Structures are given as structure tokens and as C-alpha cells.
Amino acid sequence: MFQTLYSYFWWERLWLPANLTWADLEDQDGRVYAKASDLYITLPLAFLFLVVRHLFETYVATPLARLLNVKEKVRLKATPNTVLEKFYAATTKHPKQADVEMLSKKSGCSVRQVERWFRRRRNQDRPSLLKKFREASWRFTFYLLAFIAGMAVIVDKPWFYDLREVWKGYPIQSMLPSQYWYYIIELSFYWSLLFSIASDVKRKDFKEQIIHHVATIILISFSWFANYIRAGTLIMALHDSSDYLLESAKMFNYAGWRNTCNNIFIVFAAVFIITRLVILPFWIMHCTVVYPLDLYPAFFGYYFFNFMMVVLQSLHIFWAYLIIRMAQKFITGKVVEDERSDREETDNSEEEEEAAVLKNGPLSNGHPVLNNNHRKTD
């Protein structure tokens, strides 16, 4: 049965245009072609990325955070309470008013105390500013290096200037060593992002992030199998062109450099919109949808690849909406918070207690952490 499924999966009509077989993509006459087995190495490399990331965050990002004076916001700990903790863990972190009143009677606390306990308990579970800074630093470093490498791979190629060259001679297109390593490194990195997503900072677009990572992995892998290498390198470089700007804006945000953050974010918003709402759909997707039909009839792989491109483009539109909303607030000078963020909760009485912590030292139910005057969150 496994052999039957294997045969169906690698049926040539799924992956290649009519009248072409896998034999046409065997290495010969100095030509080297992409092979599915080449991608096996990306899984162990993904775990190597996780090791490198840990070392980077520990020995590079953490000292950099201290250098930039990244400061934590005061967080008061919730006093131990078995009844409230059990409800928090087993039922919900956001109790309704009826639940609050019921818990007030069971725990012997006032309604006000129960509401305050849940606010503090939720804040305890939120990631620290240092964790956010370390993650942003790692992604900034990778995306910047990947963008530079991607441009080095494609800038001297004829298909970078004339998109019709992407399909010239397809699929009999020899793979270059630079393309091989660009693909392997990019795919390994996205595997590592998928493996670590459960432990990374969670935002409101958590599900969209998973869809994005899975769609990206499928697109990169499929373009490799079907020898869409030229189109794939263009798409990867285009995506990396704005990502490092966003991560650098986050880093300056966490460091409290508001003006620098705002300026970088405006540049990021412009690059994101130009590359993903203009260049990607009107140049790159036009290239993958229209030009191939001049060479061969549409086949399953053609439809599948472009369907996954539509999935990515839909996510880009969703994120562009959030980015434009934030950019408008930047331009008008309003205090801006990431639309995807889970904000810390405070009330007047807690702010007074936080001020007391900073002035007089730790309270019996709190712990002293340096205050962060920058109110914007990632």
C-alpha cells in the first residue's frame, strides 16, 4: 500500500508538464537538477538552527539588550490562591461577572480582589520584554543576511530583469550551487520557525502565522520538486526584503527608541506594501500564472503552486490591513500598539502600587523590575 501511495505521489503528471518525465531531470552533460532527497537535510539543519538561535539569544541578543537599556515593566505577582488558580488553569483566564462573584464567595476575596488577581495572573503569563527583544534580534539577523544572500544569488541573473526568462527552457534548467544553498538554508529556517512556534511569543495572529509557515514550507518544497527554482528564489528574496525592517523596528521599540522605531516602521510599511501588494501579485504571480501557459498546457502542479501563492497573498492582505492601521497612528502621533499584541492590563490602584515598588522596593506579593516608560508593545 505504501508503495502504491508513493507511486501516486510521484506521478509525473502531478509535478511535470505533459510529455516530460523524471528521466528528463536526471543529471547529465554537466547539468545538475533539484532532487527531492536533497531536502532531507533541512530537518536536521532546522534543529541546528534552533541550537544556533539559543546561543545567539544568550551570548549576542541578551548583551545587546543590556547595551540598549531594554527595561522590563513592573509586574506584580498574584498572591497564591488555590481556588482562583484552579479556575484560571482549568476553566478560563477571563472570567465573566457571574464567575467573578462565584469565585469571590468561594475564595473569601472581594469582587475587586478577584478581578485584580486575574489581571495580575494573566500578566505573569505574558512574555517578558527581554524574550521579545531576543526573538526579534534573531529574526532580524537571519532575514537581513538572507536578503543579502538572496540578492547576491539573483541580481546577476537574466530572469531578475526579464521575468519571461524564468521559464526559458523549463523544466530543463540546471540548478546552480548558490540556488541550492539558498533553498536549503531558507527551508531549514522556516522548519525551525514551525518547530519553535509553540514556545515563541504568541500573538493574536497565531493561527495565521502557522498557516504562513506551512504554506511557505509547501511552496519552497514544491518549487524544488517541480524545478521552479528561478521563480522560488525571486519569491523568497522578495519576502525577505521587508521582514528585517519589521524586526529592527521591534528591537528599537523594546529599547524605548520611539522616534527610531516609528521611522523604521514607516519605511517597513512602504516596502511591505510595494513588494507584497504590488510586485508580488502584479509581477511575480503574473509571471507564474500567465507565462507558463505560453510553453505548456496547465497541469496539477501549475494549479497547486498558484493556489498556494493565493494563500500567501491573502495573508499579506490581512497583515497589510493591520500595518496600515498602525502606520496611520504613527503618522498622527498617537500612542501605537501592535494590533496583534496581547496587552498588559492595569488599573489606577495597580499603577500606584507599581510606583510604590519602584520607590520603596518589593512588596510582599510583587517583585522589583525596572520600569519601561515606552508604552508600545510588540
Q: Calculate the alpha carbon distances from 263 to 132, 137, 350, 363 in Å.
A: 20, 18, 33, 39
pLDDT > 80? residue 62: yes
- Answer yes or no: is pLDDT of 128 > 50: yes
Express each pLDDT in 72-110 by its tens digit. Answer: 776 777 788 888 888 888 888 888 888 888 888 888 888
pTM of whole model > 0.75?
Answer: yes
Per DSSP, 251 falls in state H
pLDDT, tens digit (0-9, with 9 covering 90-100), for 307-361:
999 999 999 999 999 898 887 776 776 544 555 555 555 554 444 444 444 444 4
Which DSSP symbol is given to 28? Answer: B
Residues in CB range of 341: below 8 A, 6 or more apart: 203, 204, 377, 378
Q: Please tell me the distance from the alpha carbon of residue 305 to that of residue 218, in angstroms, as a whole number.
A: 9
Distance CA 270, CA 280 (A): 14
Q: Which pLDDT value is given to residue 348?
A: 47
Q: How do residues 145-176 score in pLDDT, each as one tens digit?
A: 999 999 999 999 999 999 999 998 888 888 99
Q: Alpha-carbon distance 228 to 219, whole Å? A: 10
Which of the residue ranges 192-201, 224-233, 311-320, 326-335 would you say has the lowest mean pLDDT? 326-335
Per CATH, the homologous superfamily of domain 82-125 is Homeodomain-like (1.10.10.60)
Q: Residue 194 corresponds to which amino acid?
A: L
In Å, how far are 17, 20, 78, 150, 185 from 142, measured between CA atoms? Answer: 35, 37, 38, 12, 10
- Given a cut of 60, is residue 279 above it in pLDDT? yes
Domain limits of the chain?
A: 28-68+128-332, 82-125
Task: Dump the DSSP string for 36-97.
Answer: GGGGGGHHHHHHHHHHHHHHHIIIIIHHHHHHTT--PPPEEPPPP-HHHHHHHHHT-SS--H
Q: How confident is the model at residue 343, as a pLDDT?
A: 53
The dihedral region occupied by 169, where left means phi > 0, alpha psi between -120 and 50, and beta the remainder, is left
Strand partners, 31: 28
pLDDT at 188: 97
* Exposure class string for 204-216: b at 16+ Cβ within 10 A, else e: ebeeebeebbebb
pLDDT on residue 356 = 44
Q: Which of 152, 131, 301, 311 is nearest to 203 (CA)?
A: 131
What does the DSSP 8-state code read for residue 252? H
Q: Which of 224, 231, 223 is nearest to 285 (CA)?
A: 231
C-alpha cell at 285: 504571480
Mean pLDDT of 211-237: 91
Check if the beta carbon of residue 93 is closer than 8 Å to that of residue 121. Answer: yes
- Residue 370 in contact with residue 90, Cβ under 8 Å? no
* CA 323/CA 337 separation, integer angstroms: 11
Per DSSP, helices labelled H in the chain are 2-9, 12-15, 42-56, 62-67, 82-90, 97-107, 111-125, 129-154, 158-161, 177-196, 206-225, 229-254, 258-274, 285-289, 300-332, 348-360
